[in-house]
Amino acid sequence: MAGLSLGLGVACTPSAPAHAAEASACRQLPASVLFEQRTWTEIRDGLACGVTTVIIPVGGTEQSGPYIAVGKHNVRVLAQAERIARAAGNTLVAPVMAYVPEGGTKPRTSHMRFAGTLSIPPDVFEKLVQSAAESLRVQGFTLVVLLGDHGGYQAQLKQAADTLNTAWRGTGAKALYVRAYYDVLPHQYADWLKKNGHEKEVGLHAELSDTALMLAVDPSMVRQQALRAGPAPTAAQGIYGGDPRGASAALGQPGLDMQVRAATQAIEAARTPPP
């Protein structure tokens, strides 16, 4: 037994510096959680340090009335995904998907009726999501989070997650579609705005809530002078219901916070093993 104990002690001794070096390497990882701002070796080392969750933020390039720039969803979902990644911990944010289904081209339907919109077919979009997720899984990411900022493709995101989870069965990896991230806007956030005196201003698209959210994330994306002096909104302007003219960053921040909480809770729940 004495010999065995001595042997075990000798075997364990060299591992201490190795563990110290590993811990030091983990502490030296970049502060940025953005995939695009890390080198491949930093991403590899992050995986070894437990950074095994990755968010695929899905935006869209579409008209949002005459006052909000067409990259609204892309800017918003990236900022939100970064907040969520930091709140959840051990999470990176993949590049934003800016090409999504936005309507037909022959004839032009939905947002494609307006200049500034880019659209791809739903089946192409679904394959794009699946391919990006699979490329992350094979690198070692075990939780791939699908986060969609736009209502028009939520069904495709869910289908993509279902398809991936079937294909990944037994691999230890999971695709997480976070429907709650989007759903809090037309429900809890819209209710909050209405209870705070803005019932008539809340609509479906490019109205008060949409504009307020954008002002809270990046006011440079909103043409504020034109907004304040603009006429009553109409569908012909690309504004569907409601009135954006009273929007402010202060009105938008609660909606953003609701989204971050919902997504963070979903990620934490997905990480928790079943009882």
pLDDT (tens digit per residue) in 244-273: 999 999 999 999 999 999 999 999 999 988
Confidence of residue 17 (pLDDT cuts 50, 70, 90): low
HSE-up of residue 126 (Cα within 13 Å, Cβ side): 16
30-271: CATH architecture: 3-Layer(aba) Sandwich (3.40)
Q: How many CB atoms are located within 10 Å of the residue 30 CB?
A: 13
pTM tops 0.85 = yes
Taking residues 200-209, what's their average pLDDT?
Answer: 97
* Residue 63 zone, left/alpha/beta (φ > 0; ψ -120 to 50; rest): beta
- Burial environment of residue 251 by CB neighbours within 10 A (0 to 12, 13 to 18, 19 or more): buried
**Res 19: pLDDT:** 64
The highest-confidence range among 3-7, 17-21, 253-257, by mean pLDDT, is 253-257
Q: Which of 95, 92, 112 is nearest to 104 (CA)?
A: 112
For residues 39, 40, 43, 46, the Cα torsion angle rounded to the nearest 10 degrees is -90
Cα–Cα distance between 206 and 69 in angstroms, integer?
A: 10
* Residue 172 zone, left/alpha/beta (φ > 0; ψ -120 to 50; rest): left
pLDDT (tens digit per residue) in 227-251: 999 999 999 999 999 999 999 999 9
Amino acid, res. 39: T
Q: Which of 109, 65, 106 is nearest to 205 (CA)?
A: 65
Give yes or no for residue 20 having a pLDDT over 70: no
Taking residues 78-101, what's their average pLDDT?
Answer: 98
Taking residues 176-195, what's their average pLDDT?
Answer: 98
Q: Which of 150, 253, 267 is nearest to 206 (CA)?
A: 150
Give yes or no for residue 204 having a pLDDT over 80: yes
Cα–Cα distance between 263 and 269 in angstroms, integer?
A: 10
Give yes or no for residue 43 having a pLDDT over 50: yes
For residues 140, 141, 142, 148, the Cα torsion angle rounded to the nearest 10 degrees is -160
Collect all residues with Cβ–Cβ distance below 8 Å to 75 and sequence separation of at least 6. Answer: 59, 69, 214, 217, 218, 221
Please give the share of the chain, as a percent, with pLDDT higher than 90.
89
Q: Which of 100, 80, 81, 99 is nearest to 152 (CA)?
A: 100
Q: Which of 213, 200, 204, 203 is nearest to 250 (CA)?
A: 213
Cα–Cα distance between 9 and 14 in angstroms, integer?
A: 10
Confidence of residue 274 (pLDDT cuts 50, 70, 90): confident
Mean pLDDT, the chain, integer:
93
Q: Which of 123, 131, 139 is nearest to 54 (CA)?
A: 139
Q: Catalogue the E-assigned strands of 130-250.
A: 143-148, 174-177
Q: Where are the domains of the chain?
A: 30-271
**Res 27: pLDDT:** 87
Contact call for residues 53 and 133 (beta carbons, < 8 A): no
Cα–Cα distance between 273 and 172 in angstroms, integer?
A: 12
**Res 16: pLDDT:** 53
